[in-house]
Amino acid sequence: MIDFINPEYIKLSMMNSNEAEEVIKPILVPNEKIEVAFRTVRDKVIFTSKRIITVNIQGVSGKRKDYTTIPYGRIQAFSVQTSGTFDLESELNIWISSVGKLHFEISGRYDVQNINRLLSEYVL
């Protein structure tokens, strides 16, 4: 799911936290909570209180899943671009040490400044 060679990413939309918990419940550690969650058609990007988790749903049945964890401590820098009047997508760029850059586009009216505050709290 995360392609560090080609950092362009499919547009994400908001996802219900209860649905996100069902997907990642087996890998959550004690006292870890979901802060915000996004989805594509099948894949998920979930920001928790400890890390960013991406879930790549594979196969026809969707039973095969690839989980990638990005600890907040590995993030070197991030940038947030808010949506405009006509451009409704917000953008989030994250640079991860020794790995590369991730680019997320968030569609809809989600206030991306919430992610800015979240990353600031956990990264700084």
- Which tens digits make up the pLDDT trace of 92-122? 899 998 888 888 888 877 788 899 999 999 9
The tens digit of pLDDT for each residue in 25-75 reads: 999 999 999 999 999 888 899 999 999 998 988 878 778 888 999 999 999
8 A C-beta contact, residue 41 and residue 12: no
Extended strands (E) in the chain: 11-14, 34-39, 44-48, 51-58, 64-71, 75-81, 90-96, 100-106
Q: Whose structure tokens read 């990264």? A: 123
The radius of gyration of the chain from alpha carbons, rounded to an integer in Å, stands at: 14
pTM score, two decimals?
0.86
Please, what are the domains in the chain? 11-123 (2.30.29.50)
Two tokens, residue 22: 């069902």
